[in-house]
Structure 1
Amino acid sequence: MFTPSAAWSNLLVSAIALAPLASAVPCSSCSPTPSTSPNSTILPYLNSQLCIQDRLDDLLSRMTLEEKAGQLFIKQIPAGINGTIDSTTLVLDQGRNLTTAPLINEKLLSHFNVNNALPAKQMAEWYNRIQRLALETRLQIPVTIASDPRHAFADTVGSSIASGQFSKFPESLGIAALRSPELAEQYATIIREEYLAVGIRSALQPQIDVVTEPRMARSGQTFGEDANLTASMVVALIKGFQGTELGHTSVTTVTKHFPGAGPARNGNDSHFATGKDNTYFGDFLNYHLIPFRAAIAAGGRQIMPSYARPIGTKYPEVAFGFNKPVITGLLREELGFEGIVVSDWGLITDQAIIGVIEPARAWGVENTTELERAKMVLDAGVDQFGGEIRTELIVQLVIEGHVPESRLDVSVRKLLEEKFLLGLFDNRFVDAEAAERVVGNPYFARIGNETQRRAYTLLTNKQDILPLRPTDGNKFYAQGFNSSYLSARNLTVVDSPEKADFCFLRTATPWEARGSPFRQRYHEGRLDFNATERAAHSALFNSCPTIVDILLDRPAVIPEIAEEAAALFGHYGASVDAFLDVVFNKDGWKPEGRLPFEMPRSMEAVEEQVADVPFDTVDPLFRFGHGLNYTRPALCS
């Protein structure tokens, strides 16, 4: 088994030292303003001069059972057209179809995940309208808006969102490929500034699953196969998102998916029954905990458990969100996490997704009722239900005596404290005009575009063919992208590879479309090209010297490409222009990335490795950390 350099452990230690823990302002530091005044009509919990704990005490004392239940749910909603509150997207609620407004003023929810992208000004206007709607509720509790990652080119429904106007970076694998905690912090700081501008105050990231099963469906949003490198990245990201302490200019983080989704059986995604098992036959659970320990030490505010259930450990074989020995025992008591635990989406209710009913992810407890599942999640130590609106179940559990209201108070207090710390009670609106200037501004866009180029990983470069010089040839053939990108550079485009001096092929790591339309959005299955695809590639390679650019959202099995192509690049989310700039060394751009995982030589090696064990594929094609530098000097054009 390959052992990565201990340098990442040293890097992790230094990164943690740079990240002070986030914490609430203690009451002792507040001015001794009384909770009430004979001449004041401001309710104590709305009085910004009071300590947060005093405000929380007052607010909790005023809340009804239904209002408390509403805080325990976060639901995905779209921003409406032109910045309006959406009134067309329907959410099924016990036979009723609800839109956004009833979720706030009837179901009393105040946490939402915005799942689409609008121009920045419109998003900010939508956010302000949502907050005005919340002001009309009895207690005027402000809304917290969360978002899945939206700053990368890859767009996987359910795990990331199209970047739209936001600055565009590679996926987090590309950040890991550059091995720089300073860059990771800058990346998160830029996201924070853009999120703040439009009102997003909770980032459903970082995803710190360690890719020990090469077929893992959501590898693209991780930091790769090395747990210590991942740990150094998460420390930097948390500091970038939250700052030195959680406050009015912070974005809170939701670190996921505890205790790590890397050991998925056959790499299948745990949204679906075929991926419900995390297997630990190599006894490497502690390896997967390394990044989570770092996140907790760095002051990460929230953690999301994985959908999966553990196989081959001492823990019950039920999904982590229902698993009290894991959530309360391991996460809270052993690792010392005191923050918010928010479940992944849809543990309780079967839901229609892209026209198909997808079952609740109640793996290991499938035969329980919805009421029983809700109780199990609360008993496990989870504070908030993701992707659900079943407030009536919580009310029923309390009324029938299955769960004491004091248990709700524990979680509600944490969730409301987060709102107070973020300053939402005192300053809930954003400047829509400013949002237009901040989001995707030239500086942020430049950093994102530069990172796309820097993260490129050069895997092969036969006879030092790269970087291409203007004198090497002037006729090019493009496959996998529009040849207009070449024409825009005043390069001659030909219509067949036989006429070209060089060919370019842009492709992506293979995957198999399986099951429902929603499942097909996740890249599962084999990592190699089929015989027909390999033959087509080979014909191209035999026609002209071909430079291949492959999206590595998983570790592709491509020994034939490495053997036959004139040069081979890997990228982690990058534009065509980024690719061509690196190929031609335009403005000095060159590949700096190093592989964040090893790339297997064959599917047989993939199938023989142990899911929870890192760096254990036999005779990998490229090892973790591989990446070539240019040695051929470029000529100015």
Structure 2
Amino acid sequence: MTDAAAPAAADRPWLDASLPVAERVELLLAEMTLEEKAGLLFQTMITMGEDGELAEADPAFGLPSNREYVVEKGMTHFNLLGVAPTAGAIARWHNKLQELAASTRLGIPVTISTDPRHSFTENPGAAMLAGPFSQWPDALGLAATRDAALVERFGDIARQEYTAVGIRVALHPQVDLATEPRWARALQTFGEDAELTGELGAAYIRGFQNGESFGPGAVSAMVKHFPGGGPQKDGEDPHFAYGREQVYPGGHFELHLKPFEAAFEAGVRQVMPYYGMPVGTEYEEVGFGFNKSVLTGLLRERYGFDGIVCTDWGLVNDAAIFGQPFPARAWGVEHLTPAERVLKILDAGADQFGGEACPELVVELVGSGALTPERLDVSARRLLREKFLLGLFDNPFVDAEAADTIVGSAQFRAEGDAAQRASITVLSNRAVAPDDRRQAQEPGGAQGPVAEPVEASVLPFARGAKLYLEGIAPDVAAAYGEVVSSPAEADVAILRLQAPFEQRETTFENFFHAGSLEFPADVLAHLAEVSAAVPTVVDVFLDRPALLGPVVETAHAVVGNWGASGAALLDVLSGATPAQGRLPFDIPSSMAAVEASRPDVPFDTADPLFRFGHGLSL
């Protein structure tokens, strides 16, 4: 494809906003070439240039230039990769990309999507750092609040921030049930309980999609990972060949559909199937993106879903990630060629290929007669319809100056901070005797009257206390007490830990925290040393349900978070904000209990240390 002067509006009757959307779609579809239709079916990562300019080719990520994607490949759907310093820069880049799209033969606008951008997760395979956006707890933290109204408000704020910069598709929410404690993707779920996940997932979707007013002001939500990605064999993730199997020894396949039923009721627009392949069920043993019995039989026919189905990333072609070879996640169909995989995905009932940029394969399939033009039109029609409904054909541009005012506004940041505080969950809080060394002294050094020691819980700690900190910046903590350099000097120690995970072979694998849930011996030894010197509070980032037994035995108080600033944590620990969070999953008592549990069954580890819903008030 080549650049062409934009025809007059009269030559583009589909731009007539007075016509019904269905008619506008057919008018445009009739004008499209095979190559232009094929371009619609691919959505992949894209980068922006410096300070909002269009990007040239990016060898580090193996990405072509923005121009090559839009003009030469005819693609119009992209997942924005990376973090920009300002919202205005994203908005300017978006507008330039839309100008580039407008210069093509038919001027089809681009649709920009994104993985979650509002949370603290550092996993670029599942979410983006927040950058200029307001910061909220991850989905597990939203679940810990148990507040559907708060979750819908989050979705509404995120919708306003996304649309301000031109992002119109959210590659979320993730309503998988975290029924296998070792699974690496639990952080972006709403936890282990199907009813709570369905309630909060529906609220999340309503917020993003502007309630019942889906249209130019909305963000199209893509719920994932149908039909539920939680029951992973041994807790391994199907991004990798060793984690490709999903198993259902408890016979709970249907339970994992419940949150999706709530999403359909909420009017979700798009669905992403997962990489995994079901083993030992009535369904074909191939990855869900290739699985006709699941995508057509379940999703299209049983649930009557007529929205967009976009595969998870990289089902067709092998790739390189961080310089390492990475095979296509074509589980169960590894023997097929890339073109044959494309055909099987379309035959299964999907519309779009995530993480791929090979429309020439669709052209080849139609040319050979393996794919009918009518089948191609079915998916092209759905994808065009969404662009029209989002208002992209009527006004694809955004106000770049307003973006910096809307995104990360003081109000939005304050609400995100409040959600962080509301999600923090106090799990244990032991009583400790007062330290006689710090009794008040009378002038001249004579000891004054000493009250009988009275035991009190370590939390909340007193404002002005001497604080020894690990994982909290001293300048943040200065507002709460006097920061000291050693446990021996402190009244209370506060240590922030990451839930444990096993180191794997490649960089990309280590973004997916998997394996044992036991804390390393050196971490526990250090905790014991600090706790022996001073009352100690341990805050754990629980992206997975860590084995907290040894921590609870040693520390004087234990707290869980799912994305919270140091200030948010200290507000709760000092009592400035009430502790409200409740566990969104069980905390197992041992690895033996985890290994004996059934991956598809919630709350299945024997004698958990803390149960779903546990949380202390201060």
Return the alpha-carbon distance in structure 1 between the equivalents of residues 536 and 59 of structure 2.
49
| Unpaired stretches in structure 2, ≥5 consecutive residues | 1-7, 432-456
Alignment of 1:557-572 (within 5 A): 557-572=547-562
Shift in Å, 1:316: 1.2
1:158 to 125, 129, 148: 125
Return the alpha-carbon distance in structure 2 between the equivalents of residues 601 and 275 of structure 1.
24
Q: Which amino acid aligns with 1:505?
A: L
Shift in Å, 1:145: 0.2
- The CA deviation string for residues 315-344 of structure 1, in whole angstroms up to 9 with x for no partner, is 111100001001100111112211110000
Return the alpha-carbon distance in structure 1 between the equivalents of residues 59 and 29 of structure 2.
31
Q: Which amino acid aligns with 1:469?
A: A
Return the alpha-carbon distance in structure 2 between the equivalents of residues 604 and 147 of structure 1.
38
Query: 1:596 corresponds to which residue?
Result: 584
Return the alpha-carbon distance in structure 2 between the equivalents of residues 510 and 416 of structure 1.
45
Classify 1:190/1:226 alpha carbon distance in 2 versus 1 (closer, same or farther; 3 Å): same
2:167 to 177, 180, 200: 200
The secondary structure found in structure 2 opposite 1:132 is helix
Query: 1:634 corresponds to which residue?
Result: none
Return the alpha-carbon distance in structure 1 between the equivalents of residues 514 and 590 of structure 2.
16
TM-score of the two chains, using structure 1 as the length reference: 0.90
Query: Contact 1:258–1:303 (CA<8 Å) still a contact in 2?
Result: yes
1:173 to 131, 137, 140: 140
Query: 2:356 corresponds to which residue?
Result: 388
1:132 aligns with 2:120: no
Return the alpha-carbon distance in structure 2 between the equivalents of residues 77 and 254 of structure 1.
18
1:512 aligns with 2:502: yes
1:235 aligns with 2:228: no
Query: Contact 1:44–1:50 (CA<8 Å) still a contact in 2?
Result: no
Classify 1:51/1:573 alpha carbon distance in 2 versus 1 (closer, same or farther; 3 Å): same
2:21 to 38, 48, 52: 52
- The CA deviation string for residues 77-134 of structure 1, in whole angstroms up to 9 with x for no partner, is 11211000111414999xxx73111110010000000011211001000000000000
1:87 to 56, 79, 94: 56
Q: Which amino acid aligns with 1:74?
A: Q
2:380 to 386, 404, 412: 412
Query: Contact 1:90–1:99 (CA<8 Å) still a contact in 2?
Result: no
1:465 aligns with 2:421: no
Query: 1:21 corresponds to which residue?
Result: none
Alignment of 1:437-448 (within 5 A): 437-448=405-416
- The CA deviation string for residues 127-168 of structure 1, in whole angstroms up to 9 with x for no partner, is 000000000110000000000000011121111001001000
- The CA deviation string for residues 403-433 of structure 1, in whole angstroms up to 9 with x for no partner, is 1011010000000000000000001100000
Query: Contact 1:91–1:98 (CA<8 Å) still a contact in 2?
Result: no
Return the alpha-carbon distance in structure 2 between the equivalents of residues 544 and 437 of structure 1.
45
Alignment of 1:317-466 (within 5 A): 317-463=285-431, 464-466=457-459
Q: Which amino acid aligns with 1:407?
A: R
The secondary structure found in structure 2 opposite 1:142 is coil
Shift in Å, 1:536: 1.6
RMSD: 1.4
Query: Contact 2:465–2:480 (CA<8 Å) still a contact in 1?
Result: no
More divergent stretch after superposition (68-77 vs 559-568): 559-568
Return the alpha-carbon distance in structure 1 between the equivalents of residues 480 and 370 of structure 2.
72
Classify 1:56/1:91 alpha carbon distance in 2 versus 1 (closer, same or farther; 3 Å): farther
1:116 aligns with 2:61: no
2:468 to 441, 462, 477: 477
The secondary structure found in structure 2 opposite 1:41 is helix
Q: Which amino acid aligns with 1:626?
A: H
Query: 1:148 corresponds to which residue?
Result: 115
Query: 1:101 corresponds to which residue?
Result: 67
- The CA deviation string for residues 534-583 of structure 1, in whole angstroms up to 9 with x for no partner, is 22211111111101111111111010111221111101100111111111
Q: Which amino acid aligns with 1:148?
A: D
The secondary structure found in structure 2 opposite 1:345 is coil
Shift in Å, 1:281: 1.0
1:552 to 536, 542, 557: 542
2:519 to 516, 521, 529: 529
The secondary structure found in structure 1 opposite 2:560 is strand
1:585 to 546, 557, 575: 575
Shift in Å, 1:454: 1.0
The secondary structure found in structure 2 opposite 1:436 is helix
Shift in Å, 1:46: 1.4
Return the alpha-carbon distance in structure 2 between the equivalents of residues 268 and 245 of structure 1.
39
1:189 aligns with 2:182: no
1:502 to 488, 492, 496: 492
Once the two structures are aligned, what percentage of the paired residues are identical?
49
Return the alpha-carbon distance in structure 2 between the equivalents of residues 456 and 594 of structure 1.
8
Q: Which amino acid aligns with 1:394?
A: V
Alignment of 1:300-319 (within 5 A): 300-319=268-287
More divergent stretch after superposition (197-206 vs 49-58): 49-58
Query: 2:38 corresponds to which residue?
Result: 69
Shift in Å, 1:492: 2.3
Q: Which amino acid aligns with 1:102?
A: E
Shift in Å, 1:612: 0.3
Query: Contact 1:258–1:304 (CA<8 Å) still a contact in 2?
Result: yes
Shift in Å, 1:491: 2.6
Q: Which amino acid aligns with 1:606?
A: V
Shift in Å, 1:474: 2.7
Query: Contact 1:477–1:483 (CA<8 Å) still a contact in 2?
Result: no
Shift in Å, 1:478: 1.1
Return the alpha-carbon distance in structure 2 between the equivalents of residues 164 and 87 of structure 1.
22
Query: Contact 1:551–1:573 (CA<8 Å) still a contact in 2?
Result: yes
The secondary structure found in structure 2 opposite 1:255 is strand
Return the alpha-carbon distance in structure 2 between the equivalents of residues 297 and 481 of structure 1.
42
Return the alpha-carbon distance in structure 2 between the equivalents of residues 492 and 370 of structure 1.
62
Query: Contact 2:145–2:580 (CA<8 Å) still a contact in 1?
Result: yes
Query: Contact 1:268–1:275 (CA<8 Å) still a contact in 2?
Result: yes
1:269 to 230, 237, 247: 237
Query: Contact 1:91–1:99 (CA<8 Å) still a contact in 2?
Result: no
Q: Which amino acid aligns with 2:121?
A: A
- The CA deviation string for residues 495-514 of structure 1, in whole angstroms up to 9 with x for no partner, is 22122211111011101121
1:616 aligns with 2:604: yes
Return the alpha-carbon distance in structure 1 between the equivalents of residues 16 and 561 of structure 2.
51
The secondary structure found in structure 1 opposite 2:415 is helix
Shift in Å, 1:585: 1.9
Return the alpha-carbon distance in structure 1 between the equivalents of residues 60 and 396 of structure 2.
26
Query: 1:633 corresponds to which residue?
Result: none
When the two structures are aligned, how many residues end up with a matched partner?
584
Q: Which amino acid aligns with 1:160?
A: A
Return the alpha-carbon distance in structure 2 between the equivalents of residues 601 and 542 of structure 1.
24
1:223 aligns with 2:190: yes
- The CA deviation string for residues 428-469 of structure 1, in whole angstroms up to 9 with x for no partner, is 100000001000001100000011011110100112321112
Return the alpha-carbon distance in structure 2 between the equivalents of residues 492 and 455 of structure 1.
26
More divergent stretch after superposition (39-48 vs 555-564): 39-48
More divergent stretch after superposition (78-87 vs 413-422): 78-87
